[in-house]
Amino acid sequence: MNLANPAQARFNMIEQQIRPWNVLDAEVLTLLSEVRREEFVPLAHQALAFADIEIPLGHGQCMLAPRMEARMLQDLQVQKHERALEIGTGSGYVAALLAHQAHSVLSLECVAELADSAAARLHQMGIHNAEVRQADGSKALRDTGRFHAIVLSGSVPAVPQHLLDLLEIGGRLMAIVGDEPIMSAQLFTRVSESAFSSTTPWDANAPRLHGFTEHSQFHF
């Protein structure tokens, strides 16, 4: 892919990949046109910045396909007053998108090198309401408070209870759940202190997030 004209490549990504995947929310589409995805892609893979593929980041991690990132954001419906949590910072691209939607973002990355580079990139782009922290989101988190929106930027066998417990009442969590070859997006909503609802709006496979190797005992 020729990135001599990234604006055109970005437009083509939106029109040819993202809209056909039922991402029609005007705010999300505008955001995707304004946040420069190519600046979050490793130099070795710059030509693939707008391709409909996962992009390797090293350390066994990758950026998800653009259409999947867009659909997750659309389904989460993050609002300007809300706190958002991302598990799996990777390049920092999804954190940047969330930062434009939410009041504040906490993004957790277990690989120190990726956490440091993502934090530096967000700072360089003038995004100051997104904090990147080196931490393992598969383990119980302390001193984070609750969140209105949580997104897992990769797949898990099941969503652990400790992440659901971080939701505010009315808060939403989006994750790709299951085992290959069959995975699906699951959108969880906390309806009370003790109750959660879930929907499965679409099917998609995604690479595993680090640490999420055992099935949770949580059941509805």
Residue 73: inside a domain, yes or no? yes
Find out whether 155 and 203 touch, Cβ atoms under 8 Å.
no
Taking the model in full, what pTM does it have? 0.93
- Is residue 215 domain-resident? no
The per-residue pLDDT for 180 is: 87
Reading the block at residue 144, the tokens are: 């984070």
- Domain-located, residue 13: no
Position 43 scores a pLDDT of 92
Phi, psi at residue 69, to the nearest 5°?
A: -60, -45
Taking the C-alpha atoms of residue 179 and residue 103, their distance in angstroms, rounded to an integer, is 34
- Structure confidence at residue 213 (pLDDT): 64
Domain harbouring 69, CATH code: 3.40.50.150
- Average pLDDT per consecutive 10 residues, the chain (220 residues; last block may be shorter): 81 97 96 96 93 93 95 97 97 98 97 96 96 93 93 95 97 95 95 97 92 56
Output b/e per residue, 140-159; b: 16+ Cβ within 10 A.
ebeeeeebbbbbbbbbbbbb
**Residue 216 is assigned to a structural domain of this protein:** no
15 found inside a domain: no
Cα separations (Å) of 178 from 51, 116, 146, 196?
Answer: 25, 30, 25, 19
- Residue 214, domain member (yes or no): no
Q: Which domain holds residue 123?
A: 54-203
- Total domain count, the chain: 1
Q: Indicate whether 157 belongs to any domain.
A: yes
Say if 105 falls within a structural domain.
yes
